[in-house]
Amino acid sequence: MSSSQRKDLGRALCIITGASRGFGRTVARELSRLVKPGSVLILTARSEENLRSLEVELAGSEAGKSGLLVQCVPADLAQMEGLQSVVSASRSAFSEHIDHVILVNNAASLGDVSRFTSSFTDMAEVDSYLSLNVTSCLCLTARLLQALPPRSGLCRSVINITSLCALQPFKSWALYCTGKAAREMMFRVLAAEEPDLRVLSYSPEMQSVARSSTADPDLKKTFSDMFSAGQLLTCEASCAKLMKLLLEDSFTSGAHIDVFDL
């Protein structure tokens, strides 16, 4: 951990899942401004069209003109082929000049929040949700850590985009809460196992999630009141706080940090 805030994140290889829209897209933009020339952004999501538009945007930015390399990997991370395509692209982009690997595990789905827990009787439905939101996240992280091994002078950071739902129950959000809680524990274990890694679970608590439909009227009113009071942040405002955390690099590895704690 550093004693003072860094000015940049080094010559980095950044792998961002769910990069085509929302928070993931904002993370890609912000990271592009904080890495040194010669850095590489691997952007993955299911929507190739949205990824390509982001690639064009970043290529035309100041960072792009200064030597930032951007590679899009359209992939379904719930499938083994999708995981392998991201790992292969990352391995190919990894070189002796890279001094910081940053993995942002942002890809996730909300699940059906219009129903209560007792309605989830279909094992295939639940398995499908957990496959994308837990299993693929674990397997991608493990494969990338193997493909991009530690070496002298290399910092490796793993960021899990999480939620208050990982810590507290929200009625009608059984799948989402379960997935977030499982992922968070997974990364806490990873931090304990590998003290050389910098592991962070960051909760952005954004408008886009809070405004989602829910079966619980009390929760719906809470979200509505928070939105009306301006208590829900935009992706840009929340991402700025994440970038500050990464630059300061003073968090305890494995910690859960909520945007409203900053």
DSSP, res 229: T
Helix, strand, coil shares of the chain as percentages rounded to 5? 50, 15, 35
Distance CA 10, CA 242 (A): 16
Q: Model confidence over 75-107: pLDDT tens digits? A: 999 999 999 999 999 999 999 999 999 999 999
Task: Work out the pLDDT band at 23, boundaries 50, 70, 90.
Answer: very high
| Lowest-confidence region among 28-42, 124-138, 194-208 | 194-208
pLDDT band at residue 219 using 50, 70 and 90 as cut-offs: confident
Share of the chain above pLDDT 70, in %: 95
Query: What is the average per-residue pLDDT within 247-253?
Result: 97
Terminal C-alpha separation, the chain: 18
Q: Per-residue confidence at 2, pLDDT binned at 50, 70, 90?
A: very low
Report the pLDDT value the prediction gives residue 138, as an integer from 0 to 100: 98
Q: Is the pLDDT of residue 114 over 80?
A: yes
Asked if pLDDT for residue 151 goes beyond 70, the answer is yes
Do 159 and 103 form a contact (C-beta atoms < 8 A)? yes
Residue 187 has what pLDDT?
98
- pLDDT of residue 210 exceeding 90: no
What's the average model confidence in pLDDT over 142-167?
Answer: 97
Dist CA 74 CA 43 (whole Å)? 8
Q: Residue 211 pLDDT more than 60? A: no
Residue 1 has pLDDT above 50, yes or no: no
pLDDT at 225 over 80: no
Please state, rounded to an integer, the average pLDDT across all residues of the chain. 93
| pLDDT above 80: residue 231 | no
Query: What pLDDT score does 87 carry?
Result: 98
Query: How does 220-244 read in b/e, with b if 16+ C-beta sit within 10 Å?
Result: eeebeeeeeeeebbebeebbebbee
Name the token pair of 176.
């989402």
Higher pLDDT, 211 or 177: 177
Average pLDDT over every residue of 24-34: 97
pLDDT band at 3 (very low <50, low <70, confident <90, very high): very low
Lowest mean pLDDT among 15-24, 39-48, 221-230: 221-230
Residue 207, pLDDT > 70, answer: no
Residue 243 has pLDDT above 90, yes or no: yes
pLDDT exceeds cutoff 90 at 257: yes
- Nearest alpha-carbon partner for 191 in 146, 252, 149, 138: 252
